[in-house]
């Protein structure tokens, strides 16, 4: 410990640094500082920047003189210092020039939204949650990520629900002076400001930054007085405005975002696109490479795409952003021709399934795929769904070869675990964030050390905390809508801390089926108000202002919650956000989720209850389809996809599970009033799932399976004046031009003992024999995986060649089909980068 005399003085700047750091969690264990400065404001906003920006200088100076305040600040500063100095996972992996840090200098992570804290409301939901949690985990692990996003002046809309039960969308302004952001400075110390060209006008962009430990989130906004009003509104509303506005936003994020990164002096090996919104960054990265290395766009794209990763989040084609060709032409014709040096039609083709169809809209996910060195989905099931919806980009390739892998999402445990539960684990484990980086053995080890009573007490306490939050939230909402003190008092008093408490919160969109529980309102009412085994249900969620159907579903819940007979058994919490989510996932006993399979790509909210001892009852979709086991939660659905007519069957199953399993299990107590069967499930759920569905695991997986290999390939392709990228570009052009000349002349099978000898004779035309791979392909069948067995070049003469191989297999000859694909030599990703294929029949 540094002696007091040598420690730097504590000033407003010290507090500002703390307020800015989004990696610090302000929980009941360390928020005394902000309480001391302005408790009311702190409780209302949970925003340290806000508290700091409003405290009068005199009051702050007086506080800073107090020993108590000094001690608090020092404690926080030291804890943060210790976190930053702790050796990280990334820094300790590999060694010498094969160390991870040697292989990967920086990942640029692009996302339309980020959910980091309530102090920075620039998020809507799931996508922002994934981005925010991954950024925090990358900071914990030391994986070098710089994030890029948008500073939304109004964020996502705020929800108010009037006495009529209808949702009202409100757009309060985010005041930059009271957010944990600061202007981004260029190398000369001036606030970064630069222009990009949209048709007819220059648009000025301004750079900001937020801090997450040692990592940064760079943000852009267009609210610059030099811009015409329409341009100032580009960064106004997240997911607001029409299609053209969306295009402008995506141009700013993709093209502006990449320029911002470079203007801040940052180079990246890997570009990670969190969904397709930022896909224009692929073009801008190539453009910048072109200009720097003096190569053509084609060579630049082949060099840079090796370092691009596209994560798709959409399970249905309708979910992709698409723009009419005329709109794209208006915005990108000049950019294509003057900056990229390619015809507009070539650019448009990158966003099309059928590259020659001039009417097909431009699809951002296709652009992202055609500009990526790897593509992944966000759960195992979503991987399968995605291979299906992207299949037409790889015509005639087998479905299982569509080049989309998966990394299942995870959540940042320290963000979502309750301070109380964490403190309990801390006592046992002696580390600040006990779940993080723990291997399976140590989670089990911790669980083995505690008895049922210990676990159940955490649960009881958490439920109590949640209910007191719900009461105060409810009181405030009711007061705003004009309820009397008596009504407010009554509403809060009906909730009961010993009741089984269910939580259901998500976007109100038809595919999420938020009303599945309401299919039989009377049955639900009976379940909730059971005399001996009552249940209470907390509901929250917004419906997009343009989604009428979603708003109707929301009204249904309002009407149900307003029924006098179920008063106190259902509470709708208006304005679902990170704060409400945190309280709910920490306190509920069971988290419900009932999407229509396979529409939930992953889902993350159910993962947030795990470390808090909550259990999941969920449709077998997204992450739950791979997490579920009978002893750790409950599942709705039969693991198959169905039409909406099947909803009634799912609802029936949901009611029965609740009535026959969940409720009895919760209320079945031993002599000490502990539900032992329930606690057993809690143990299984924590042991099997907490670590596996953490963002730590996700980010380690992204690093090892994608970032490191992509960085390696990118560096190879750039080396020696882009030698490899140029060679690839030539080969790809030539294969594309002459592929139609390829033909199978003959294929012979000859059996000798238990071996098959196969010889293929091909007409090559102008294609060189080494440029292709001739394979025998067999589809997967039962337990047998699909195989592609490559033949060796035997003889080549003129435009003909023979290839030969020997095959030992139990499978019949009829299972195999011969095919020709581009040779993966040179590190070309096939079929991602070149989806050519020729089948023998
Ligand atoms: C976790 C979270 C989400 C994402 O939840 P899903 O499981 O994808 O529905 C959305 N909004 C908030 C506020 C969250 O905390």
User: What confidence score (pLDDT) does residue 809 get?
Assistant: 84
Same domain, 261 and 393: yes
Residue 488 has pLDDT above 70, yes or no: yes
Nearest CA, atom 12, ligand 1: 125
If we measure between CA atoms, which residue out of 837, 835, 832 comes closest to residue 305?
832
If you measure from the C-alpha of residue 134 to the centroid of ligand 1, how many angstroms do you get, rounded to a whole number?
Answer: 14
Helix (H, G, I), strand (E, B) or coil at 263: helix
Please work out whether the CB of residue 129 comes within 6 Å of at least one atom of ligand 1: yes
State yes or no: pLDDT of 3 exceeds 90: no
Q: Which of 58, 85, 112 is the last residue of a domain?
A: 85
pLDDT at 432 (0 to 100)? 62
The residue contributing the CA closest to ligand 1 atom 10 is 125
Q: Are 628 and 620 in contact (CB under 8 A)?
A: yes
Give the pLDDT of residue 674.
98
Same domain flag for 99 and 14:
no
726 domain-assigned: no
Q: Which helix (H) or strand (E) holds 458?
A: helix 452-480
SS3 804: strand
440 and 400 assigned to the same domain: no
Gap from CA of 582 to ligand 1 centroid (Å): 10
Per-residue pLDDT band at 752 (split at 50, 70, 90) = confident
For residue 630, CA distances in Å to 126, 516, 624, 625, 691 come to 27, 22, 12, 12, 19
* pLDDT tier for residue 436 given thresholds of 50, 70 and 90: low
Average the pLDDT over 347-370 and give the result: 96
67-85 vs 32-45: helix crossing angle, rounded to 10: 80
The verdict on 522 and 560 lying in the same domain is yes
Instruction: Considering only the C-alpha atoms of the chain, give the largest distance between any 2 of them, rounded to a whole number of Å.
Output: 95
User: Is residue 724 one of the residues assigned to a domain?
Assistant: no
Q: Which two tokens stand for residue 578?
A: 């990170």
Rounded Cα gap, residues 789 and 776, in angstroms:
5
DSSP percent split of the chain into helix, strand, coil, nearest 5: 50, 20, 35
CB burial string 510-544: b at 16+ within 10 A, e below: bbbbbbbbbbeeebbbebbeeeeebbbbbbbbbbb
pLDDT band for position 429 (cuts 50, 70, 90) = confident
pLDDT tens digits for 283-340?
999 999 999 999 999 999 999 999 999 999 999 888 899 999 999 999 999 999 999 9
Mean pLDDT throughout 155-161?
94
* Mean pLDDT, range 775-786, rounded to an integer: 90
Cα 224 to averaged position of ligand 1 atoms, centre (Å): 32
The Cα 315–Cα 598 span in angstroms is 7
Is the shortest distance between the CB of 364 and ligand 1 below 6 Å?
no
Query: Is residue 165 domain-shared with residue 302, that is, in the same domain?
Result: yes
Burial class (CB in 10 A: 0-12, 13-18, 19+), 673: exposed
Q: Which residues contact 192 (CB under 8 A, 6 or more apart)?
A: 183, 184, 185, 186, 206, 207, 260, 263, 264
Burial of 111 (0-12, 13-18, 19+ CB in 10 A): buried
| Residue 783 pLDDT > 90 | no
Give the CA distances from residue 612 to residues 432, 498, 608, 685, 697, in Å, rounded to whole numbers and listed in that order.
16, 17, 8, 10, 18
Evaluate whether residue 733 is within a structural domain: no
Residue 605 near ligand 1, beta carbon < 6 Å: yes
Q: Locate 480 and state its tokens.
A: 């705003």
Co-location of 104 and 71 in the same domain: no
Q: Out of 113, 581, 583, 614, give the residue to mutate to test ligand 1, the one with the largest number of ligand atoms within 8 Å of its CB.
A: 581
Among the candidates 35, 56, 85, a domain finishes at: 85
First to last CA, the chain: 75
- 562 CA to centre of ligand 1 in angstroms: 25
Which has the closest alpha carbon to 604: 614, 596, 593, 613? 593
Closest to 140 in 3D by CA, of 786, 791, 696: 696
pLDDT digit string, tens, across residues 545-603: 999 999 999 999 999 999 999 988 999 999 999 999 999 999 999 999 999 999 999 99
Rg, C-alpha atoms of the chain: 29
Q: What is the C-alpha separation between 596 and 580, in angstroms, rounded?
A: 24
Q: Are residues 433 and 570 in the same domain?
A: yes
User: Which of 699, 181, 143 has the alpha carbon at shortest distance from 413?
Assistant: 699
Contacts of 93 (CB under 8 A, 6+ apart): 99, 100
Q: What are phi and psi of 538, to 5 degrees?
A: -105, 130
Q: Which two tokens stand for residue 170?
A: 């409100």
Q: Is 604 in the pocket of ligand 1 (CB under 6 A)?
A: yes
Residues 6+ apart with CB under 8 A from 677: 665, 668
**Ligand 1 pocket member 126 (CB < 6 A):** yes
Same domain for 672 and 806, yes or no, is no
Cβ(728)–Cβ(822) under 8 Å?
A: no
Q: What distance in angstroms lies between residue 605's CA and the mean position of ligand 1's atoms?
A: 5
Say yes or no: CB of residue 503 within 6 Å of ligand 1. Answer: no
581 CB near ligand 1 (under 6 Å): yes
Q: What's the residue count for the chain?
A: 841
How many domains would you assign to the chain?
4
Confidence of residue 491 (pLDDT cuts 50, 70, 90): confident
Alpha carbons 454 and 45: distance in angstroms, whole number: 33
CA distances for 509 relative to 28, 72, 514, 538, 554, angstroms: 34, 45, 7, 18, 9
5, pLDDT greater than 60: no
pLDDT at 281: 98
Dihedral, 710, 715, 718, 719 alpha carbons, nearest 10: -150
- pLDDT for residue 589: 98
487 pLDDT band, cuts 50/70/90, is confident
d(CA 409, CA 698): 6
Counting from 1 in the atom list of ligand 1, the atom nearest the Cα of 124 is 11
In a domain, 478, yes or no: yes
Does the Cβ of 508 fall within 6 Å of ligand 1?
Answer: no
Mutate to test the pocket of ligand 1, among 116, 117, 121, 126 (most ligand atoms within 8 A of CB): 126
Residue whose CA is at the smallest distance from ligand 1 atom 8? 603
725 is a domain residue: no
**603 and 709 within one domain:** no
Residue 507 CA, ligand 1 centroid: distance in Å: 8
Residue 662 burial (C-beta neighbours within 10 Å; 0-12, 13-18, 19+): buried
Domain CATH number, residue 449: 3.40.50.2000
Does ligand 1 lie within 6 Å of residue 132's CB atom?
no
Per-residue pLDDT tens over the stretch 806-837 = 998 888 888 999 999 999 888 999 999 999 99
Measured between alpha carbons, how far is 709 from 97 in angstroms, rounded to an integer?
Answer: 15
Helices (H) and strands (E) in the chain, counts: 31, 28
Question: Looking at the structure, do residues 707 and 621 belong to the same domain, yes or no?
Answer: no
Answer whether residue 440 shows pLDDT above 60: no
The CATH number of whichever domain residue 780 belongs to comes to: 2.60.40
Q: Is 538 helix (H, G, I), strand (E, B) or coil?
A: strand
Answer whether residue 433 shows pLDDT above 90: no
For residue 787, what is the enclosing H or E element?
strand 787-790
Q: Can you tell me the distance from the alpha carbon of 541 to that of 124, in angstroms, rounded to the nearest whole number?
A: 11
Domain assignment of residue 816, yes or no: yes
Pick the residue with more confidence: 378 or 419? 378
DSSP string, 83-109: HHHSPPTGGGSS-GGGSHHHH---EEE
Residue 772, strand partner residues: 822
Any ligand 1 atom below 6 A from CB of 616: no
Separation between Cα atoms, residue 634 and residue 615, nearest integer Å: 8
E strands of 1-112, at which residues?
107-110
Closest CA to 365 of 390, 340, 398, 342: 390
pLDDT for 441 equals: 60
List of residues 6+ apart from 769 with CB closer than 8 A: 793, 796, 801
Compute the average pLDDT of residues 528-556: 95
Q: Which atom of ligand 1 is nearest to the CA of 506?
A: 9
Whether residue 235 contacts residue 252, with contact meaning beta carbons closer than 8 Å, is answered with yes
Indicate which residue's Cα is closest to atom 5 of ligand 1.
605
Supply the residue whose CA is at minimum distance from atom 11 of ligand 1. Answer: 125
Query: In Å, how far are 106, 270, 531 from 703, measured between CA atoms?
Result: 11, 10, 53
What's the gap in Å between 321 CA and the centre of ligand 1?
Answer: 21
My answer on whether 677 and 764 are in the same domain is no
Residue 397 placed within a domain: yes
Kindly state whether residue 734 falls inside one of the protein's structural domains: no
756, containing H or E segment: strand 755-763
- Interacting residues of 218 by C-beta distance below 8 A, sequence separation 6+: 146, 147, 148, 149, 184, 207, 208, 209, 257, 260, 261, 264
As a whole number, the mean pLDDT across the chain is 94
The answer on 185 and 233 residing in a single domain is: yes
577 lines ligand 1 (CB under 6 A): yes
Residue of higher predicted confidence among 421 and 500: 500
Does 435 score more than 70 pLDDT?
no
Q: Which domain covers residue 26, as residue numbers?
A: 10-85
**Domain final position from 44, 64, 85:** 85
Task: Please give the pLDDT value at position 434.
Answer: 58
* Atom 1 of ligand 1, nearest CA residue: 605
Atom of ligand 1 nearest to the CA of 604: 7
């Amino acid at each position: 410990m540094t002696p007091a005399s040598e420690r730097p003085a504590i000033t407003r700047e010290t507090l500002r640094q703390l307020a800015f750091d989004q990696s610090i969690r302000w929980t009941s264990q360390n928020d005394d500082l902000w309480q001391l400065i302005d408790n009311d404001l702190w409780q209302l906003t949970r925003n340290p920047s806000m508290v700091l920006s409003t405290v009068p200088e005199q009051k702050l100076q007086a506080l800073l003189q107090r020993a108590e305040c000094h001690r608090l600040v020092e404690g926080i500063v030291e804890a943060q210092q210790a976190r930053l100095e702790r050796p990280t996972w990334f820094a300790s992996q590999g060694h010498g020039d094969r160390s991870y840090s040697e292989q990967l200098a920086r990942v640029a992570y692009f996302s339309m939204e980020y959910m980091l804290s309530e102090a920075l409301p620039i998020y809507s939901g799931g996508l922002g949650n994934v981005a925010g949690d991954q950024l925090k985990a990358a900071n914990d692990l030391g994986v070098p990520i710089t994030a890029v996003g948008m500073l939304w002046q109004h964020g996502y809309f705020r929800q108010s629900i009037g006495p009529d039960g209808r949702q009202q969308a409100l757009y309060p302004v985010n005041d930059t002076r009271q957010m944990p952001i600061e202007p981004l400075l260029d190398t000369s110390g001036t606030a970064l400001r630069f222009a990009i060209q949209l048709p007819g006008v220059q648009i000025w962009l301004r750079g900001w930054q937020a801090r997450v430990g040692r990592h940064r989130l760079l943000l852009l906004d267009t609210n610059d007085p030099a811009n015409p009003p329409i341009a100032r509104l580009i960064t106004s509303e997240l997911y607001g405005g029409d299609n053209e506005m969306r295009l402008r936003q995506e141009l700013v994020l993709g093209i502006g975002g990449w320029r911002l990164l470079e203007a801040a002096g940052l180079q990246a090996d890997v570009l990670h696109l969190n969904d397709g919104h930022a896909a224009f960054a692929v073009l801008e990265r190539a453009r910048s490479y072109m200009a720097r290395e003096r190569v053509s766009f084609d060579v630049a794209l082949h060099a840079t795409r090796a370092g691009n990763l596209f994560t798709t989040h959409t399970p249905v084609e309708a979910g992709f952003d698409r723009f009419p060709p005329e709109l794209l032409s208006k915005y990108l014709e000049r950019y294509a021709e003057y900056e990229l040096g390619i015809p507009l039609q070539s650019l448009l083709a990158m966003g099309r399934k059928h590259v020659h169809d001039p009417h097909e809209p431009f699809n951002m996910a296709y652009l992202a795929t055609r500009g990526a060195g790897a593509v992944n989905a966000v759960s195992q099931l979503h991987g399968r769904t995605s291979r299906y919806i992207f299949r037409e980009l790889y015509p005639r390739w087998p479905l299982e070869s569509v080049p989309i892998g998966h990394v299942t999402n995870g959540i940042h445990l320290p963000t979502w675990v309750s301070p109380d539960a964490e403190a309990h684990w801390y006592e046992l484990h002696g580390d600040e964030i006990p779940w993080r980086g723990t291997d399976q053995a140590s989670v089990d080890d911790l669980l083995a050390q505690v008895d049922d009573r210990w676990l159940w007490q955490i649960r009881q306490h958490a439920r109590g905390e949640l209910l007191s939050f719900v009461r105060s939230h409810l009181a405030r909402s009711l007061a705003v809508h004009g309820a009397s003190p008596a009504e407010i008092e009554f509403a809060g008093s009906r909730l009961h801390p010993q009741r089984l408490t269910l939580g259901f919160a998500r976007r109100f969109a038809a595919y999420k089926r938020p009303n599945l529980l309401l299919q039989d309102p009377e049955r639900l009412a009976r379940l909730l108000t059971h005399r001996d085994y009552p249940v209470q249900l907390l509901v929250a969620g917004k419906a997009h202002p343009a989604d009428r159907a979603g708003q109707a579903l929301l009204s249904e819940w309002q009407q149900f919650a307003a029924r006098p007979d179920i008063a106190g058994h259902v509470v709708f919490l208006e304005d679902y956000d990170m704060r409400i989510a945190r309280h709910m996932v920490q306190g509920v006993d069971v988290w419900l989720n009932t999407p229509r399979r396979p529409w939930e790509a992953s889902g993350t909210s159910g993962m947030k209850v795990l470390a808090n001892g909550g259990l999941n009852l969920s449709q077998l979709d997204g992450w739950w389809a791979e997490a579920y086991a009978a002893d750790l939660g409950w599942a709705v659905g039969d693991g198959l996809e169905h039409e909406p007519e099947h909803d009634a069957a799912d609802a029936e199953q949901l009611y029965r599970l609740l009535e026959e399993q969940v409720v009895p299990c919760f209320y079945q107590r031993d002599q000490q009033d502990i539900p032992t069967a329930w606690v057993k499930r809690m143990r299984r759920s924590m042991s099997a799932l907490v670590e596996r569905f953490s963002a730590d695991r996700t980010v380690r997986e992204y690093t090892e399976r994608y970032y490191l290999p992509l960085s390696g390939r990118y560096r190879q392709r750039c080396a020696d004046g882009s030698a490899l990228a140029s060679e690839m570009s030539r080969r790809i052009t030539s294969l594309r031009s002459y592929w139609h000349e390829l033909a199978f002349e003959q294929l012979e099978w000859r059996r000798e003992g238990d071996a098959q000898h196969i010889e293929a004779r091909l007409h090559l035309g102008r294609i060189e024999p080494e440029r292709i791979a001739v394979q025998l392909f067999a589809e997967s069948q039962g337990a047998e995986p699909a195989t592609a067995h490559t033949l060796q070049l035997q003889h080549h003469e003129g435009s003909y060649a023979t290839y030969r191989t020997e095959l030992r297999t139990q499978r019949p000859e009829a299972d195999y089909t011969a095919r020709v694909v581009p040779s993966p030599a040179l590190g070309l990703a096939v079929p991602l980068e070149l989806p050519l294929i020729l089948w023998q029949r």
